Amino acid sequence: MPVISNTGVKTTTEGSVEIAKEARSAVIMDAATGKVLYSKDAAEELPMASITKIMTMLLTMEAIDEGRLKWTDQIKTSEHAASMGGSQIFLEPGETMSVTDMLKGIAIASANDACVAMAEHLDGSEEAFVTRMNKRAKELGMNHTHFSNCNGLPAQSHYSSAHDIAIMSRALLVHPEITRFTSVYSDYLRKNTDRPLWLVNTNKLVRFYDGVDGLKTGFTQEAKYCLSATAKKEGFRVIAVVMGEPRPKVRNAEVTGMLNWAFSHYTSKLLYPKGHVVAKAKVIKGVKDNVAAITAEPVGFVAERGNKSTYKTEITLNPVKAPVLKGVQVGEMKVFVNGDMVSRVPLLARDEVKKTNVFQGFGKTIKKIVTFGKAE
């Protein structure tokens, strides 16, 4: 998912506002556009602990979307996965559990063992999965991140930044099904068996802050207390990230303050959802003369409350030569607020368009000539 630039609202930085005072770094981001509303040492590379699991959940959700994984698939636990310490759901070697329950364990209980089991199932080994985690991070523009494992247990060269974590969180929220897990405060695994396990969400804000429905906490002695939280009010979704907080109560209080500040100072206007048809691009030598152009990401902007904003959109389309692959970029949409460009979103081909063969091309040529003649 591309990072969308947005310059319509000035980013607030440390010193200009009294929030996240005890965090080593912090970011507030608009989930729809990627606009950073507040930042404090946002590019500093720091240990991220279990916030790592956001990427593990992202790759899992993408595998489901791509059809490589089903919710009902049974995941078998290896001895390596079962050996993970820290937060876990106490998987035993050889035990199987559905993707749904594995994800429940990761999202709610921060289960290290479930992360490794999923990684091994998807890529054959944790090492191969971690390679893909790092590749995906680069694709997302996470330039201050490196993963050494899939669960956030202490390891060398395992770090991220508050801004990168916000980018990663935004990518995960593209998959709305994830909040079905991250918003749950408590639940059971292995219910009605001789080994029931009660899960309690490590993110207490899902219970105590109206609108919070995710995403992930983290703690190690090195990383201290971290959190990537998201909340939605009146259609405006915000991501708040803190790293290096001294205590869980301080972490929760500062994130609460960040969310309150964002919702009281800003509002968001969604113009088009992801995948919305906004135009048709011309296709050269295709079986169809045009292809629907859809938005690659949600299109919108953030505005300061109390300030009147006028906006307009501008679409640029590029003729494409067949064959056209589904998802190829065919143009872009720019959004202007009060005369300033605040975002640009790629426009993609909604469908595949095949190239004409010799006979189809001849027929289309004849048709154009006849039509032109009638017009004369």
Catalytic residue among 110, 161, 169, 228: 110
23 CB-near residues (< 8 Å, 6+ apart)? 40, 242, 243, 244, 245, 251, 254
Helix (H), strand (E) at residue 304: strand 299-304
CB 117 within 8 A of CB 91: yes
CB 303 within 8 A of CB 337: yes
Cα 330 from Cα 315, distance rounded (Å): 11
Q: Compute CA distances 316 → 146, 276, 332, 336, 337, whole Å.
A: 36, 16, 5, 14, 18
The tokens for 118 are 């999923």
308 CB-near residues (< 8 Å, 6+ apart)? none
CB 164 within 8 A of CB 134: no
CB 280 within 8 A of CB 350: no
110 assigned to active site: yes
CA atoms within 13 A on the CB side of 361: 10
Catalytic residue among 50, 160, 161, 268: 50
At residue 230, the 3 state secondary structure works out as: strand
- Exposed, middle or buried: residue 109 (CB in 10 Å: 0-12, 13-18, 19+)? buried
Catalytic residue among 25, 35, 39, 53: 53
Q: What is the DSSP letter of 41?
A: S
Which residues are known to be catalytic?
Answer: 50, 53, 110
